[in-house]
């Protein structure tokens, strides 16, 4: 994933990250443009599930994407005609 600098739109490099929760990362980013020099923190969150895990972790809860919910229900409960 390529993250552009919010100021000069050049590329950023990520320095390190913390993971305070299973679905959340804090990533430290730095702009590669020496004339800019911006650095800061990026939040990355696992927002929705579009396909469920086959080995789900009990402590992880990521809401099912609304558009995917009906498709998943159709797979679980095949329509009988
Ligand atoms: Zn920049």
So what's the pLDDT on residue 70?
83
CA of 5 to the centre of ligand 1 (A): 5
Name all domains of the chain by residue range, CATH numbers in brackets. 1-46 (2.20.25), 49-81 (no CATH)
So what's the pLDDT on residue 12?
97
Looking from the CA of 12 toward its CB, the CA atoms found within 13 Å total 24
The two structure tokens encoding residue 79: 């329509």
So what's the pLDDT on residue 74?
83
- Gap between the Cα atoms of 39 and 77, Å rounded: 49
So what's the pLDDT on residue 55?
96
Q: What residues does the ion ligand 1 have nearby, CB within 5 Å?
A: 5, 7-8, 10, 31, 33, 36, 38
CA of 13 to the centre of ligand 1 (A): 11
So what's the pLDDT on residue 80?
64
Q: For the chain, which residues score pLDDT lower than 70?
A: 80-81
So what's the pLDDT on residue 33?
98
């Amino acid at each position: 994933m390529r993250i552009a600098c919010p100021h000069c739109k050049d590329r950023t490099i990520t320095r390190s990250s913390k993971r305070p929760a299973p679905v959340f990362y804090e990533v430290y980013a730095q702009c590669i443009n020496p004339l800019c020099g911006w650095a800061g923190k990026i939040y990355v969150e696992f927002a929705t599930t579009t396909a469920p895990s086959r080995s789900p972790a009990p402590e992880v809860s990521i809401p099912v994407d609304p558009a995917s919910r009906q498709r998943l229900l159709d797979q679980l409960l095949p329509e009988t005609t």
